[in-house]
């Protein structure tokens, strides 16, 4: 009697083996579809499985044009290889000295980035297609030289059942082949990163950060992040693996790497004046230091960035943000020349003395004093003569504040004490209208960033696989000798109906149609029992399959087959 119950063998994951390859790198378009492959198990090259992960963007293309896939590097935190260094720079094991506080903790990182192999392509088609779910590569079943399923010669009478059992495997494999062919419609490329930033966080606190520019990223596949002078609390949390390693990818936009932006000079100048005025109210500093405009470049750049952000209407990639554009020094210098023209030192003094007279006539003593003090300080090149301008600036209206700067101020490093060049600020009240000169299109590029958690090497588990892709339970009879003669006893075995090509079972000599009496002295007749059995082993372990034969006119014969388990996809829990 044959009771057919077909099940798929449960297999497991091994480590990722990725190598840096010298491919041509690409840049990311903003209107792409974000994808991430987390738990796909592809071939490991030896008949087993290994975990494959990938992430990036896919650019949706018009008909008859290949869809571009942009692959970002995967960063793996090797938390099983963290190194602790003492005050003298020597490596030590905190397990041996639990109370010793490290001077530095180094967390090694592995960088994986390569184009997918053919066996990995179903994962991409699955990730980028709706309603398709693929979790592992499907190995084909072993076939005879004529292309038909393998059948153990004594089991030829069961050929119809064995062929039926292989048909489902063949159907799934054919579907997989269609997905591999479908990947011909995609064009994968590696992303050209501008910068890679790695940070370590414990709870909400960032305790370490390191940035790698493009030149470092392309030098190899091993990086690290160091936590300097950790507290004992931080050290213990790191030892326990209770920290997050975050990866921030920074890359240029490809399809719309330029934006035709129109810069409104009036808006930028007013944004600049407002930000500088607000910063003056928040901190105490001498007027000489404050009006030195030491940080004007970053302030102007912020104003330009806001102008671009307000105009950029392009679609964005999921989980990415626009970080900056290239408002470079030459662009800011040109803007400064138009809207912050230079003045002579004497002109600045005269302008502020005249402004002090006008302020006094209008009864604004604070503004009068500010102009006088500043004129005196400029004339004597002595910052100690200046008053603290914070209170004075806070009392001014935005227009009066802009008017003060329009009289001319020192334009240089705010930390310097010597003289420097002087500039006035053209604002909306000025008679000279240069707004039209900057209300024009200018091409600027966009940089994007994406932040995600790094993978962890020591979180992966390995499971074994026998390379048996289908079985049926099989009842058979064997004779036993008793005091009153021979007696037939019914026993239960398992019959493999499908074994994978070049898999462990096939390599050991197992052929569909054989009757396995037991595996290492035990027998499983259901998928759950098989899973429980395999959980006791690891890839590389050996299992003995005891196969029973029934030679005509002779007692049953038993033959042992040595199966070395390979790595496989995880067994369901």
How many Cβ atoms sit within 10 Å of the Cβ of residue 284? 12
Phi first, then psi, for residue 135 (nearest 5°) are -110, -15
CB distance 130 to 33 below 8 Å: no
Higher pLDDT, 76 or 392: 76
**542 vs 256: CA distance, rounded Å:** 56
pLDDT (mean) for 166-192: 91
How many Cβ atoms sit within 10 Å of the Cβ of residue 148? 11
Range list of β-strands (E), 113-263: 186-191, 193-202, 205-213, 222-228, 244-252, 259-262
Phi first, then psi, for residue 210 (nearest 5°) are -145, 140
Phi first, then psi, for residue 55 (nearest 5°) are -155, 160
pLDDT at 260: 65
CB distance 447 to 256 below 8 Å: no
Alpha helices of 312-383 — where are they, by DSSP H?
329-339, 345-361, 365-380
pLDDT at 14: 26
On the question of pLDDT at 77 being above 70, the answer is yes
CB distance 12 to 49 below 8 Å: yes
Q: Over the stretch 447-467, which tens digit does the pLDDT of each residue have?
A: 778 888 888 765 556 789 999
pLDDT (mean) for 163-174: 89
How many Cβ atoms sit within 10 Å of the Cβ of residue 177? 13
Q: Over the stretch 336-353, which tens digit does the pLDDT of each residue have?
A: 888 888 888 899 999 999
CB distance 464 to 470 below 8 Å: no
pLDDT at 7: 32
**29 vs 255: CA distance, rounded Å:** 5
Which of 511, 513, 505, 516 lies closest to 542, judged by CA?
505
pLDDT band (50, 70, 90) for residue 242:
very high
pLDDT band (50, 70, 90) for residue 383:
low
| Residue boundaries of the structural domains of the chain | 259-437
pLDDT (mean) for 36-59: 87
CA atoms within 13 Å, Cβ hemisphere of 511: 16
On the question of pLDDT at 414 being above 50, the answer is no
pLDDT at 9: 30
**What three-state secondary structure class fits 59?**
strand
10: which DSSP letter?
A: P
What is the C-alpha end-to-end distance of the chain, expressed in Å?
A: 32
pLDDT (mean) for 482-511: 86
Cα distances from 90 to residues 87, 94, 207, 234, in angstroms, run 7, 12, 22, 20
Q: Tell me how many degrees the CA angle 184-189-192 measures, rounded to the nearest 5.
A: 170
Alpha helices of 381-414 — where are they, by DSSP H?
389-395, 398-406
Q: Over the stretch 130-147, which tens digit does the pLDDT of each residue have?
A: 777 888 999 999 998 888
pLDDT at 180: 95
pLDDT at 390: 57
- CA 215, 216, 218, 219 dihedral sign is positive
Cα distances from 441 to residues 302, 378, 433, in angstroms, run 18, 39, 18
Tokens coding 243? 């920290």
Between strands 67-72 and 186-191, the pairing is parallel
Element at 557 (helix H, strand E): strand 557-564
SS (H, E, C) 119-132: HHHHHHHHHCCCCC
**35 vs 262: CA distance, rounded Å:** 33
pLDDT band (50, 70, 90) for residue 5:
very low
Cα distances from 456 to residues 223, 246, 503, 563, in angstroms, run 14, 11, 29, 31
On the question of pLDDT at 228 being above 90, the answer is yes
Buried-exposed string 481-496: b where 16+ CB fall within 10 A, e elsewhere:
eeeeeeeeeebebbbb
pLDDT at 62: 62
Q: State the chain's mean pLDDT as an integer.
A: 78
pLDDT band (50, 70, 90) for residue 529:
confident
Buried-exposed string 255-278: b where 16+ CB fall within 10 A, e elsewhere:
eebebebebebbbbbbbbbebbbe
**508 vs 244: CA distance, rounded Å:** 44
**338 vs 437: CA distance, rounded Å:** 9
pLDDT at 259: 61
On the question of pLDDT at 21 being above 70, the answer is no
pLDDT band (50, 70, 90) for residue 94:
very high
Q: Tell me how many degrees the CA angle 521-527-532 measures, rounded to the nearest 5.
A: 55
| Percent above pLDDT 90 for the chain | 30
């Amino acid at each position: 009697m044959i009771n057919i119950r077909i099940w798929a063998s449960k297999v497991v994951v091994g480590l990722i083996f990725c190598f840096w390859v010298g491919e041509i790198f690409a840049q990311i378009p903003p209107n792409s579809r974000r994808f991430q492959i987390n738990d796909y198990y592809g071939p490991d090259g030896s008949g087993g499985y290994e975990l494959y992960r990938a992430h990036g963007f896919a650019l949706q293309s018009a008909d008859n044009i290949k869809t571009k896939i942009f692959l970002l590097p995967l960063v793996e935190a090797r938390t099983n290889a963290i190194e602790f260094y003492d005050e003298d720079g020597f490596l030590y094991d905190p397990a041996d000295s639990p109370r010793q506080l490290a001077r530095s903790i180094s967390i090694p990182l592995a960088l994986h980035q390569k184009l997918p192999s053919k066996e990995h392509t179903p994962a991409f088609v699955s990730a980028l297609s709706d309603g398709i779910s693929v979790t592992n590569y499907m190995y084909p079943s072993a076939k005879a030289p004529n292309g038909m399923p393998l059948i153990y010669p004594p089991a030829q009478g069961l050929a119809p059942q064995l062929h039926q059992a292989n048909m489902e495997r063949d159907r799934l494999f054919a579907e997989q082949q269609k997905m591999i062919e479908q990947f011909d419609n995609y064009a994968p490329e590696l992303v050209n990163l501008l910068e890679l930033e790695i940070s370590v966080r414990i709870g909400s606190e960032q305790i370490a950060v390191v940035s790698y520019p493009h030149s470092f990223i392309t030098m190899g596949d091993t990086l690290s992040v160091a936590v300097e002078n950790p507290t004992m609390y931080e050290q213990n949390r790191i030892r326990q693996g209770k920290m997050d390693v975050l990866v921030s990818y920074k890359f240029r936009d490809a399809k719309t790497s330029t934006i035709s932006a129109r810069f409104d000079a009036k808006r930028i100048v007013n944004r600049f004046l407002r930000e500088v005025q607000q910063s003056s109210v928040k901190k105490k500093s001498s007027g000489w230091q404050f009006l030195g405009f030491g940080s004007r470049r970053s302030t102007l750049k912020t104003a330009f960035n806001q102008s671009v952000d307000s105009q950029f209407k392009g679609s964005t990639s999921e989980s990415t943000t626009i970080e900056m554009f290239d408002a470079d020094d030459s662009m800011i210098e040109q803007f400064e020349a138009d809207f912050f023209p230079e003045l002579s030192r004497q002109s600045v003094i005269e302008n502020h003395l005249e402004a002090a007279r006008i302020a006094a006539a209008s009864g604004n003593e604070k503004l009068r004093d500010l102009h006088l003090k500043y004129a005196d300080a400029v004339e004597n090149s002595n910052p100690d003569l200046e008053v603290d301008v914070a209170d004075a600036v806070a009392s001014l209206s935005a227009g009066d504040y802009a008017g003060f700067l329009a009289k001319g101020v020192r334009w240089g490093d705010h930390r310097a004490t010597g003289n420097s060049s002087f500039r006035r600020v053209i604002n909306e009240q000025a008679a000279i209208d240069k707004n039209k000169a900057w209300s024009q299109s200018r091409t600027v590029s966009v940089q994007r960033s994406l932040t995600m958690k790094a993978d962890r090497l020591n979180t992966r588990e390995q499971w074994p696989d026998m390379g048996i892709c289908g079985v049926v339970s099989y009842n058979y009879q064997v004779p036993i000798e008793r005091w009153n003669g021979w007696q037939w006893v019914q026993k239960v075995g398992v019959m493999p109906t499908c074994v994978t090509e070049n898999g462990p079972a096939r390599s050991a000599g197992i052929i569909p149609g054989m009757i396995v009496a037991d595996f290492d002295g035990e027998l499983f007749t259901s998928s759950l029992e098989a899973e429980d059995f395999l959980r006791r082993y690891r890839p590389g372990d050996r299992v003995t399959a005891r196969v029973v034969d029934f030679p005509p006119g002779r007692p049953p014969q038993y033959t042992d087959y040595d199966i070395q388990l390979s790595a496989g996809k995880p067994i369901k829990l």
